[in-house]
Amino acid sequence: MAKQVTLTIDGKQVTVPEGTLVADAAKMAGIDIPVFCHHPKLEPVGMCRMCLVEIGRPVRDRATGQFVMENGAPKIQFMPKLETACTNKVEEGMVVLTRSQKAVEGQKGTIEFLLTSHPLDCPICDKGGECPLQNLTVAYGPGKSRFLYDEKMHLDKQVPLGELIWLDRERCIQCARCIRFQNEIAGDPVIGFDERGRATQIVSFSDPGFDSVFSGNTTDICPVGALTTSDFRFGARPWELQAHASICTQCPVGCNTTLNTRREAKSGGRIVVKRVMPRQNEDVNEIWICDKGRFAYHYTEGKQRLTRPMIRKDGKLTRASWDAATKLAAENFQKAKKNFVILASGRLSNEDLFNLKSLAEHADGKAYIYSHMGGGELTSLVGVGEGTNFGSMGAGTTIVVVASDLYEEAPVWYLRIKQAAARGANLIVMNARETKLDRYASFTVRYAYGDEVKAVSDLAKKGKIGDTFLKSENAVILYGSDGLGVSGSAALASACAKLLHDNGFTGRPNNGLIGVWGRANDQGAWEMGFEVEEDLAKAFKGKTVYIAGADPVADDPKLAKALEGAEFVAVQDVMTTATTEIADVVLPAQAFTEREGTLTSGERRVQRFYPAVPVTGEAKADFAITSQIARHMGIVLEGTSVSAVFDILAASVKSFEGLTYARLAEVRPQWPIVGRSDLYYGGTTYENTQGMGAQLSAAAGRGEKVSIPKVEKEALVRPKEKELLAVPVTKLYDRGTTILPSELLHERIGEAKVILHPETAKSLGVEEDQKVSVSFNGVNGEAAVKLTDTISVGVALIPRSMGLAIREPVAVKVK
């Protein structure tokens, strides 16, 4: 428990931990001190001078060191000038006056100065209505102006700092919140100040402009309308939007979001999502979301959405009724008996996956998860459980990140883990190539592709790294699939699980295994008991396949061929994909914006998402579709109430025991205080009133016996002599089905690339940006060459989901 300090603010006694800044202490006590440049999550700079207050401190006698007493209490001496509350730490006995005449005049004067160079943009500025400058001007500023309009400064407006974020230089009040966020929190110092004096302006140093996956967060914390997103430009006024709680479905972090919707004429009178904003959950994503989550929601709208069930008649897909489509599917599933295969992906909610698994069990079929990673069943045994929170990790905890580039795969975990490292946690980053997290690591372990398991097992050996690991109180291992396929990552998972289990790093909060999955709810699928199949092509041939939320045809030509040879294919998805085009029955599913459900994040936290827009066409929720099909097969599965499915799920799956929808909707007071009335303080993040979720339990945590399967060393592929090894890596902006419909991200997605070391390129006779043909394992494609010396010689990195279907390390020919 940190040392507590008591001070008096505006006559009120306030007790806060030592080291708290006066501005934060006042906020904790419910007293508002206006701030612009100060943000509770950033280091204070005292640049804007808005938080000017009168501070008095108890006087000490220089000679004796004792308090000088006056009228029975320590004498308080006020500084002759005002001080900034954001840069002063609290002291015992301090007296702060925030509304004395001097302070009021100081605050008023600061606003007056800021407004002298501010353009008269309120009616056209996107921030109007949720603007800290507006709110603080009305609350603390002057009512009349003394400044001549003609002397206002004119600067560039609508400057693109990259195609996602636009800067209006006239509105910028040079508070540097954006620069400090990028430097301190995001770790991407790609923007900065240029020029000086009043001409100080923000510039972007990178190409592409504002090259950071967290750039959208600067628009939340910018106190004026200087930084705005091009996605939401002139979309709507904040008071015209309705807010709905949701969870981002792009990666396994499970960031809490708020979907702002409006009924508008531009969309033909429909209610549409206008923007995605972060929702505060200090246990998951704090108040941040990455740009993919912020901008890649367009797949839920648009012409590509499936609206009606379809049946293939005479070779063409024709509209059908729900009854006909589900009956046809049911008949075929029943006919298949043991040849019935379900392929589901982590795009579905827990309830959908549970119904699918139940259907597979009842129909004696197989339930596969569409994933390029294996080893998920180990997370039910030794995964992290209740109480695990990156925000509480510090000295004494070791975080191992192996075979994963968190910046690209789970950006907000990257943020959280680098902050944990800054707080003293031992961060061990293990990868075959350099990643952005290396800068914050206590130890970096470089291994060659194929030596993953050995590197992990070596962590238990004696040595600097090994000692740090074994001596720590808590240890969490995040394992990914960088350069690995299904069996490779499964082997890695076993190695990690064994390491944790053997050394007692399981069954307690902040201990355990975390998988950096490819999709939002892969964890849920693993918990339900879905299996991963390395050779899906073999699994499909001649079988009756029920695909939900996956698009194997577009991903891999081999799988496309296999599905063509399948007996019957039923596809359930939210939009038209290559797989729906070859299906025999197409079932339209509701997007996550249209329904409620739960998702399990990679940290094994179950969180609820709520509906935001009305249902498109005749789409039904995935679990309801599965239930309707099951009913035709004589199997009873709950298909009406989502919470009922969840209750059945909680009763069937051990890790979900004790969870209810009500429990998932519980909230706790969080710090910093954000929300509509406090948006000047924490930013325009929405407060969380709809639920913070709850974590699952793991077998180890429940005290059950855990046995880790043996690691299969042969599963790992090593580069052979004179052979170029292509390894799959994940990049954040790829051509996935859920991101491609967002046109404004197309520039960031770019074209297919193959990444080589300069020496490798030289030996192949290719140069940067040169288009080469890439062929491996029956896959042929084109890619542009990109050179970097952060990888080893002899490997070619091929990003997944960019048009080249790479599933595991494989020999490649590049010409």
Partner 1 sequence: MGVFDPLLELLRGLGTTFKMALDKPVTYQYPEEKRPVRPRFRGRHVLKRYENGLEKCIGCSLCAAACPADAIFVEASENTDEKRFSPGERYASTYEINMLRCIYCGFCEDACPTEAIVLGDNYELSFYDRRSAIYTKEMLLEPVPSVEMTTPRKVEPGVFTRSVPEMKDPQD
Partner 2 sequence: MTQIEEVNYEQYRHLVSERAFTGETMLLNMGPQHPSTHGVLRLLLELDGEVIVNAVPDIGFLHTGVEKNMEAKTYLKAEVMSDRLDYMNNLGNNLAYCMAVEKLVELDVPPRAQALRVILVELQRIASHLVWIGTFGLDLAAMSVFLYAFREREQILDIFELCSGQRMMTTFIRPGGLWRDVPVEFETAVRNFLKIFPKRVDEYEALLTKNPLFLDRLLGIGKLDAATALQHGVTGPMLRASGVKWDLRKARPYMGYEQYDFDIPVRTEGDTYARYLVRVQEFRESMKIIEQALNKLPMGPVRSDNRKFVPPPRSEIGVSMEALIHHFKLWTEGFSAPKGSVYSAVESPRGELGVYLEGDGGPKPHRVHWRTPSFSNLSVVPKLVKGHLVADLVAILASTDIVLGDIDR
> In the bound complex, what is the minimum distance in angstroms from residue 259's beta carbon to partner 2?
22
| Interacting positions 144-183 with partner 1 (CB under 8 A) | 149, 157-158
Q: Which is nearer to partner 2, 111 or 344 (CB)?
A: 111
Q: Which is nearer to partner 2, 145 or 788 (CB)?
A: 145
Q: Of 701, 708, 704, whose CA–CA distance to 457 is shortest?
A: 708
> In the bound complex, what is the minimum distance in angstroms from residue 260's beta carbon to partner 1?
15
Give CA–CA dist 448/465, Å, rounded. Answer: 18
CA dihedral 697, 700, 702, 707 (to 10 degrees): 120
Residue 669 binding partner per list partner 2, partner 1, none, with a CB distance cut-off of 5 to 8 Å that depends on partner kind: none
> In the bound complex, what is the minimum distance in angstroms from residue 184's beta carbon to partner 2?
30
- The residue from 71, 146, 234, 651 that contacts partner 1 (CB under 8 A) is 234
Give CA–CA dist 169/593, Å, rounded. Answer: 35
Q: Which is nearer to partner 2, 135 or 182 (CB)?
A: 135
Q: Distances from the Cα of 351 to the Cαs of 366, 377, 694, in angstroms?
A: 18, 18, 16
Residue 157 binding partner per list partner 1, partner 2, none, with a CB distance cut-off of 5 to 8 Å that depends on partner kind: partner 1
Buried b (16+ CB within 10 A) or exposed e, 179-203: bbbbbebbbbebbeeeeeeeeebbe
Residue 134 binding partner per list partner 2, partner 1, none, with a CB distance cut-off of 5 to 8 Å that depends on partner kind: partner 2
| Interacting positions 114-143 with partner 2 (CB under 8 A) | 115-116, 118-120, 122-123, 128-129, 133-135, 137-138, 141-143
> In the bound complex, what is the minimum distance in angstroms from residue 114's beta carbon to partner 1?
18
Within 671-768, strands assigned E span 694-695, 725-729, 753-756
> In the bound complex, what is the minimum distance in angstroms from residue 149's beta carbon to partner 1?
8
Give CA–CA dist 250/248, Å, rounded. Answer: 6
Residue 240 binding partner per list partner 1, partner 2, none, with a CB distance cut-off of 5 to 8 Å that depends on partner kind: partner 1
Residue 266 binding partner per list partner 2, partner 1, none, with a CB distance cut-off of 5 to 8 Å that depends on partner kind: partner 1
Which span sits near partner 2 by CB under 8 A: 144-152, 274-282, 367-375, 415-423? 144-152
Residue 135 binding partner per list partner 1, partner 2, none, with a CB distance cut-off of 5 to 8 Å that depends on partner kind: partner 2
Q: Which is nearer to partner 2, 133 or 492 (CB)?
A: 133
> In the bound complex, what is the minimum distance in angstroms from residue 108's beta carbon to partner 2?
10
> In the bound complex, what is the minimum distance in angstroms from residue 667's beta carbon to partner 2?
21
- The residue from 265, 464, 703, 721 that contacts partner 1 (CB under 8 A) is 265
HEC string of 551-616 equals CHHHHCHHHHHHHHCCCEEEEEECECCHHHHHCCEEEEECCHHHCCEEEECCCCEEEEECCCCCCC
Give CA–CA dist 577/711, Å, rounded. Answer: 37
Cβ–Cβ under 8 Å, residues 330 and 309: no
Length of the chain: 815
Which span sits near partner 1 by CB under 8 A: 89-97, 236-244, 599-607, 768-776? 236-244
Q: Which is nearer to partner 1, 144 or 266 (CB)?
A: 266
Give CA–CA dist 441/434, Å, rounded. Answer: 11
| Interacting positions 225-244 with partner 2 (CB under 8 A) | 237, 239
- The residue from 266, 303, 316, 710 that contacts partner 1 (CB under 8 A) is 266
Residue 234 binding partner per list partner 1, partner 2, none, with a CB distance cut-off of 5 to 8 Å that depends on partner kind: partner 1
Give CA–CA dist 320/762, Å, rounded. Answer: 57
> In the bound complex, what is the minimum distance in angstroms from residue 226's beta carbon to partner 2?
15
Within 416-553, strands assigned E span 426-431, 443-446, 474-479, 512-515, 531-532, 544-548
Give CA–CA dist 10/31, Å, rounded. Answer: 8
Which span sits near partner 1 by CB under 8 A: 49-57, 116-124, 136-144, 340-348? 116-124
- The residue from 69, 73, 79, 120 that contacts partner 1 (CB under 8 A) is 120
Residue 454 binding partner per list partner 1, partner 2, none, with a CB distance cut-off of 5 to 8 Å that depends on partner kind: none
The DSSP call for residue 60 is B
> In the bound complex, what is the minimum distance in angstroms from residue 175's beta carbon to partner 2?
17
> In the bound complex, what is the minimum distance in angstroms from residue 266's beta carbon to partner 1?
6
Q: Which is nearer to partner 1, 149 or 714 (CB)?
A: 149
Residue 265 binding partner per list partner 2, partner 1, none, with a CB distance cut-off of 5 to 8 Å that depends on partner kind: partner 1
The residue whose two tokens read 């509350």 is 85
> In the bound complex, what is the minimum distance in angstroms from residue 171's beta carbon to partner 2?
11
Cβ–Cβ under 8 Å, residues 619 and 307: yes
Q: What sign for the dihedral angle of Cα 7, 12, 13, 14?
A: negative
> In the bound complex, what is the minimum distance in angstroms from residue 237's beta carbon to partner 1?
5
Residue 239 as a binder of partner 1 (CB under 8 A): the answer is yes
Which span sits near partner 1 by CB under 8 A: 62-70, 259-267, 288-296, 440-448? 259-267
Buried b (16+ CB within 10 A) or exposed e, 377-399: bbbbbbbbbbebbbeebeeebbb
Give CA–CA dist 713/492, Å, rounded. Answer: 9
Give CA–CA dist 359/355, Å, rounded. Answer: 6
Paired with 311 in beta bridges are 318, 585
What is the DSSP secondary-structure string of 765-791? T--TT-EEEEEETTEEEEEEEEE-TTS
> In the bound complex, what is the minimum distance in angstroms from residue 234's beta carbon to partner 1?
4
> In the bound complex, what is the minimum distance in angstroms from residue 298's beta carbon to partner 1?
18
State whether residue 165 is helix, strand or coil. strand
| Tokens of residue 459, six digits | 């962590």
Cβ–Cβ under 8 Å, residues 752 and 805: no
Binding site for partner 1 (CB under 8 A): 120-124, 128-129, 149, 157-158, 233-234, 236-237, 239-240, 264-266
Binding site for partner 2 (CB under 8 A): 112, 115-116, 118-120, 122-123, 128-129, 133-135, 137-138, 141-145, 147, 149, 237, 239
